[in-house]
Amino acid sequence: MKDNQAKYPQLRFKGFTDPWVQRNLADLSDGFSYGLNAAAKEYDGVHGYLRITDIDEVSHSFLPEGLTSPDVPEDQLTDYRMDEQSIVYARTGASTGKTYIYRDSDGELYYAGFLIRQKVNKETSAQFVYQNTLTKAWERYVQVMSQRSGQPGINAQEVGRFELAIPEKAEQDKIAHLFNSLDNLIAANQRKLDLLKEQKKGYLQKMFPKNGATVPELRFAGFADAWEERKLGDITKISTGKLDANAMVENGKYDFYTSGIKKYRIDVAAFEGPSITIAGNGATVGYMHLADNKFNAYQRTYVLQEFLVDRSFIFSEIGNKLPKKIKQEARTGNIPYIVMDMLTELKLSIPQNNSEQQKIGSFFKQLDDTIDLHQRKLEKLQELKKGYLQKMFC
């Protein structure tokens, strides 16, 4: 221990005042080892196989979809089984440095060849070490190590040289417990959000007629009339914004819609709701907002106004049909985009009864509001964790 290595975090639990000291990961480990070089086979119900692609890029959780087993005899697996002191690190490719910690719920889990396993010693909290790999300090370290050659990558020796500040074990455990609880809460909210999105997808499939059909599979009681097919350009006025994407003004008076998901602000309005905006290009091409009050829009953002049918219904039906249309016909170059006739010619199925339109529109509006609520809650939890990572580690 060196006195000049002593550090103190910005935020800590009451009762702890001792300085933290610098260590590297190798000091806190019983060793590093590379994963099993084996093909994957269909999951056998017992032996889980963890590969780089099975670790979520954002949440660092183990993705259950596509769970596999290693395709080797069981007697060759022993050295590769993970336990509660195990952390793995992606050692190559675009995911270099991505980490995962073993959880009790994983059962029998074995790690694959492009992962490095750190066996954290019993005198150190593995959860505390793992949370350090989610900090900016680890991110910067991986970037530096990955720049040594043309191909991103990091080896076991380089992982072991990463330095972190650590407190006594009792304080490690308290910090680890806090972050583990936060991670569980974030994961639970993510599952809830995913479930709601899947429910919406199912309702979209059942509450709108399939190709060639004139009635939906599922509809509200009291409605029996056939639906009619209409072009979007015949039931609403479609125009575009005129402004450059960087025209936004911080703390402006009005909403400013671009081709992204986020709404910005601007001081000059060109439109007034009720409207729908549709992103015309970029990674979020086709993303829509319900726009109310006065607002403005980017030149590649489409603005729908003067609706002849219920706006909330149209919003849902466009969300049902437009992604398929984009996939089939989007004029793509380096940046995907849609053009005016793709929207004006978009064929939609419309109930002839206004009350049915309103009921369906209201149903999906409430579902979207619930999804947005859970999305915001999840983002707040993620931001809370990010803040704690900055303040509770040296």
The highest-level CATH class for domain 228-350 is alpha beta
pLDDT of amino acid 394: 83
pLDDT of amino acid 134: 94
CA distance 374 to 369: 9
Q: According to the CATH classification, is domain 168-221+352-394 in 2.170.120.12?
A: no
The CATH 1.10.287.1120 domain(s) of the chain lie at 168-221+352-394
Q: To which residue do tokens 């000049």 refer?
A: 4
Name beta bridge partners: 332.
336
**pLDDT of the chain along its 394 residues, tens only?**
444 567 899 999 999 999 999 999 999 999 999 999 999 999 999 999 999 989 888 888 888 778 999 999 999 999 999 999 999 999 988 889 999 999 988 999 999 999 999 999 999 999 999 999 999 999 999 988 887 666 788 999 999 999 999 999 999 999 999 999 999 999 899 999 999 999 999 999 999 998 888 999 999 999 999 999 999 999 999 999 999 988 999 899 999 999 888 899 999 999 999 999 999 988 889 999 999 999 999 999 999 999 999 999 999 999 989 988 888 775 555 667 888 999 999 999 999 999 999 999 999 999 999 999 999 999 999 999 999 999 999 8
pLDDT of amino acid 59: 82
pLDDT of amino acid 3: 47
For residue 52, count CB atoms less than 10 angstroms from its CB and return exposed for 0-12, middle for 13-18, buried for 19 or more.
Answer: buried
pLDDT of amino acid 66: 82
pLDDT of amino acid 333: 56
How far, CA to CA in Å, does 277 sit from each of 10, 118, 292? 44, 49, 10
CA distance 236 to 315: 12
The strands making up 271-272's β-sheet, listed across from edge to edge, are 264-266, 254-257, 294-297, 271-272
Instruction: Kindly state the helix (H) or strand (E) to which residue 234 belongs, with its residue range.
Output: helix 232-235
The CATH 3.90.220.20 domain(s) of the chain lie at 21-166, 228-350
CB 189 within 8 A of CB 381: yes
CA distance 363 to 348: 18
How far, CA to CA in Å, does 105 sit from each of 59, 82, 98, 183? 16, 12, 20, 14
Of 3.40.50.300, 3.40.640.10, 3.90.220.20, 2.40.30.110, the CATH number of 21-166 is: 3.90.220.20
CB 297 within 8 A of CB 270: yes
pLDDT of amino acid 2: 44
